Amino acid sequence: SRRVIIDCDPGVDDSIALFTALGSPEDIDLMAVCVVAGNVPVTTCTHNARSLLALAGRSEIPVYEGCDRPLIVEPEFADHIHGETGLGDAVLAEPTVPAQNLGAVDYLIGTLEAAAPASITMVITGPMTNFATALQRNPAIATAVKELVIMGGASAAGGNITPHAEFNIYADPDAARIVLACGRPVTLIGLDATLQFRCTPARMERLGASSHRILKAATAMIGHVNKIYGEIYGDEGSALHDPCTIGYLIAPDLFEAQEVAVTVQTYTGETRGQTVVKPSPGSDFRWVTGLRAGTLFDLLIERMERL
């Protein structure tokens, strides 16, 4: 199984991604959870990461708190979607294991400096501030990265935080530009793909029918976002954006991707955070365009039920 660092802002869908990764030891050897400001302030995200690991019985996995604000732009949160706590309607037990004293940026630098070339997979499901800051301090750490699998961006689908931009990129476009240019293979899973992965009423019912503690937590989290989505978008259910990254690592055959070049609009105008995606045959930068939602959902449930 491959060595993976998850850098996230939990966050409802980040939580589902984390559970799925934890339930997949044959595919994913989770080294650490790094946390960044995004959906909610970083201290809240860190608390959530610790609670999620505790619920999964995996508190031995270290949590590193990272950047509390973007590189340049002002912080913007998404608590209007994820709820004030970031975990929707889920109420989790108070975690007992503290976060590490070392910060996420220092952890990333130290770990990647010491690692063999192309040995660690970076999964990023929040704004990319932590890894961007690490790369600014030592660009050579990129060589230790095997590949990056990132939830972010939007092309044909249009944005979710503005008509042009997806939240993770919008929240720190300068960080996104640095990370996406780090020179290692990238798979970017944006809204074009993730909006095809909805937690529909039928899927919600399946989750809700389970008495498994992880699926119960997932139901309370996603149920909250579905209520919000119901108000904003109708009744198709909310998209499970971030778990697509873990799904891609476990079962890449469920996804369709194109070789592309991507540029990020970093200036703070109307198109701030927009990703411009152009075909580029032979590139090791992949833009995911489609996925098999039914099979992917089955896989998530199967993996989470193992915890």
Looking at the annotation, which residues are catalytic? 241
Instruction: Give the residue, chosen from 4, 11, 77, 299, that forms a contact with ligand BDR under the rule CB under 6 A.
Output: 11
**Which residue, 108, 133, 136, 110, is CA-closest to 122?**
108
Could you give the CA distance from residue 287 to residue 277 in angstroms, rounded to a whole number?
8
Could you give the CA distance from residue 191 to residue 289 in angstroms, rounded to a whole number?
9
* DSSP code, position 56: T
Instruction: Report the residue number, 151 or 250, with the smaller CB distance to ligand BDR.
Output: 151
Instruction: Report the residue number, 10 or 23, with the smaller CB distance to ligand BDR.
Output: 10
Give phi and psi for 290, each to the nearest 5.
-155, 165
Which of ligand BDR, Ca ion, none does residue 50 bind (CB under 5 to 8 Å by kind)?
A: none
Q: Does 167 bind ligand BDR (CB under 6 A)?
A: yes
**Min separation Cβ 14 and ligand BDR, Å:** 5
Q: Does 7 bind ligand BDR (CB under 6 A)?
A: no
Instruction: Give the residue, chosen from 15, 20, 24, 39, that forms a contact with ligand BDR under the rule CB under 6 A.
Output: 39
Q: Does 192 bind ligand BDR (CB under 6 A)?
A: no
Q: Which residues, 6 or more positions from 75, have their beta carbon under 8 angstroms from its beta carbon?
A: 37, 41, 68, 69, 171
Q: Does 226 bind Ca ion (CB under 5 A)?
A: no
Binding-site string for Ca ion from residue 240 to residue 259, where x marks contact by CB under 5 A and - marks none:
--x-----------------
Could you give the CA distance from residue 69 to residue 7 in angstroms, rounded to a whole number?
15
The residue type of 149 is: V
Q: How many other C-beta atoms lie within 10 A of the C-beta of residue 91?
A: 10
N- to C-terminal Cα separation, the chain: 17
**Min separation Cβ 169 and ligand BDR, Å:** 8
Note the Cα 169 to chain centre separation in Å: 12
Q: Does 125 bind Ca ion (CB under 5 A)?
A: yes
Instruction: Give the residue, chosen from 6, 7, 11, 65, that forms a contact with Ca ion under the rule CB under 5 A.
Output: 11
**Min separation Cβ 114 and ligand BDR, Å:** 29
Instruction: Report the residue number, 18 or 182, with the smaller CB distance to Ca ion.
Output: 18
Instruction: Report the residue number, 28 or 189, with the smaller CB distance to ligand BDR.
Output: 189
The answer to whether 171 and 38 are in contact (CB under 8 A) is yes
Q: Please work out the total of residues on this chain that contact Ca ion, with binding judged by CB under 5 A.
A: 6
Which of Ca ion, ligand BDR, none does residue 224 bind (CB under 5 to 8 Å by kind)?
A: none
Q: Please work out the total of residues on this chain that contact ligand BDR, with binding judged by CB under 6 A.
A: 15
- Write out the two tokens for 236: 């198709």
Give phi and psi for 227, each to the nearest 5.
-60, -45
- Write out the two tokens for 89: 């309607």
Q: Does 188 bind ligand BDR (CB under 6 A)?
A: no
Instruction: Report the residue number, 141 or 189, with the smaller CB distance to ligand BDR.
Output: 189
**Min separation Cβ 115 and ligand BDR, Å:** 25
Q: Produce one character per residue of 265-284: b if its CB has 16 or more CB atoms within 10 Å, e if not.
A: bbeeeebbbbbebeeeeebe
Residue with tokens 């997949």: 24
Could you give the CA distance from residue 26 to residue 167 in angstroms, rounded to a whole number?
31
- Write out the two tokens for 265: 């609009």
Name the residues that contact Ca ion, by CB under 5 A: 9, 11, 14, 125-126, 242
Name the residues that contact ligand BDR, by CB under 6 A: 11, 13-14, 39, 78, 81, 125-126, 151, 160, 166-168, 241-242
